[in-house]
Amino acid sequence: MTTLILLTAFSVLSLNMFLPSLAHIAADFQVDYAMANLSIAGYLAVTAVLQVIMGPLSDRFGRRPVMLSGLGIFSFASIGCLLATDIWVFLGFRLLQGALISGMALSRSAVRDQHSPQKAASLLGYISMAMAIAPMTGPLLGGILDQLYGWRATFVFFVVCGFLLWWLTWADMGETNRNRSSTIRDQFQTYPELLRSRRFWGYAFCLTFSLGAFYIYITGAALVGGTIFDLTTTEIGASVGIITLGFAVGSFLSGRFANRVPLVKMVIAGRLVAACGPALGLAFLSFGLVHPISYFGAITLVGLGNGLTIPSANSGVMSVRPQLSGSAAGLSGAMAVASGAILTSFTGAVLSPETGAVVLMLLILASVLLSLLAGLYVRWVDIRDPLPE
């Protein structure tokens, strides 16, 4: 379990740890901020494609070999980012780092391989709670490393941790997929069975827009924190990471209650809590309360709601067709990450120093409400077509 927690945490850490350094990366390579931001949007796009491939591969060949391959590629790509002297070389190796997404997608599948849907949701809640420490402290650590040693120090960290985690996975992680398909062709031929499931699409869209609120926030938090609240890079790192404080609490509650509460009820409860965050933030702004504590504090409710929702939604996605849990995790993860890439780019394009605070909250609220509609759709499907006991 510890190895799975670290794999999941490090997958998230690779996304957000160097966010406070984006402006310095742009300055070092003499490009604008939008170009440097491709290291986020492009990374998300690549991981979306990889998850579609890695899920079926893990159903065919097993979780362990696919996981080790992804960690190896990430580690060597981190060396390339560290040594890059050109923005295009840097972005190329940054895209290769996306292979680390295997740690997140396949860790979930490994849990589902061994447990019932609600038990898996409970364990995924505890995994999410423990791994939330990484994305919460990652931007702060990245900001400190940037201030002390420059942005490349973050990629030194990635190189060292990548190789250490590869060794730990090789030594500790056994194979959990005991029902592998005979060929890749047979594996892909089962995809229509998954794609015809309305429950799968409901849970997948709920995950997509729940995580979408997170992607929107981490894209806009640096701009809002720097231009409106005049925060330092370390303070921006803390503000980017605060959403995971609520996520850790919500994940702990999932671990406690998901084993006893039906999946879809946990999902909807989380979406209602998450909606309170941007609604409260917009209320503060409408009354003229523009302060970093009230603004970023309201976002913790989005994290809390995601912590309640995501473990149960992940378990729901993988439980629609248990024999396709790797494929389901990969496809739903790809949807979430692809949408994240789109939302990241869109958010970066529409935000401005003058309107950023309000627009960011509105975008987060829209994403949360769409995820709530998806959760309610799953509930409607359950009422019309109950699962067999």
The alpha carbon torsion through 249, 10, 240, 267 (nearest 10 deg) reads: -40
Does any domain span residue 183?
A: no
Does any domain span residue 188?
A: no
Mapped onto helix, strand or coil, the DSSP state of residue 116 is coil
Range of lowest pLDDT (143-157, 177-191, 329-343):
177-191
Look up the pTM and report it. Answer: 0.74
Does any domain span residue 184?
A: no
Is the pLDDT reported for residue 118 higher than 90? Answer: no
341 confidence band (pLDDT: 50, 70, 90): confident
73 confidence band (pLDDT: 50, 70, 90): very high
User: Looking at residue 377, what is its pLDDT?
Assistant: 95
Is the pLDDT reported for residue 126 higher than 90? Answer: no
At residue 62, φ and ψ (nearest 5 deg) are: 110, 155
Which domain range does residue 220 map to? 2-177+194-384
Q: Residues 5-46: pLDDT tens digits?
A: 777 778 777 877 877 888 888 888 888 877 887 787 778 778
Does any domain span residue 130?
A: yes
Does any domain span residue 53?
A: yes
8 Å CB contact between 180 and 338: no
Instruction: Please provide the DSSP assignment of 239-298 as one string.
Output: HHHTHHHHHHHHHHHHHHHTTTS-HHHHHHHHHHHHHHHHHHHHHHHHTT---HHHHHHH
Is the pLDDT reported for residue 147 higher than 70? Answer: yes
343: CATH = 1.20.1250.20
Does any domain span residue 187?
A: no
Number of domains in the chain: 1
Does any domain span residue 298?
A: yes
Is the pLDDT reported for residue 140 higher than 60? Answer: yes
8 Å CB contact between 270 and 302: no
Is the pLDDT reported for residue 254 higher than 70? Answer: yes
Give Cβ neighbours of residue 334 (< 8 Å, ≥ 6 apart): 47, 48, 49, 50, 51, 52
Give Cβ neighbours of residue 2 (< 8 Å, ≥ 6 apart): 172
Does any domain span residue 132?
A: yes
Q: How far apart are CA 130 and CA 124, in angstroms?
A: 10
> What is the overall mean pLDDT for the chain?
82
The alpha carbon torsion through 98, 99, 104, 110 (nearest 10 deg) reads: 170
Is the pLDDT reported for residue 389 higher than 50? Answer: no
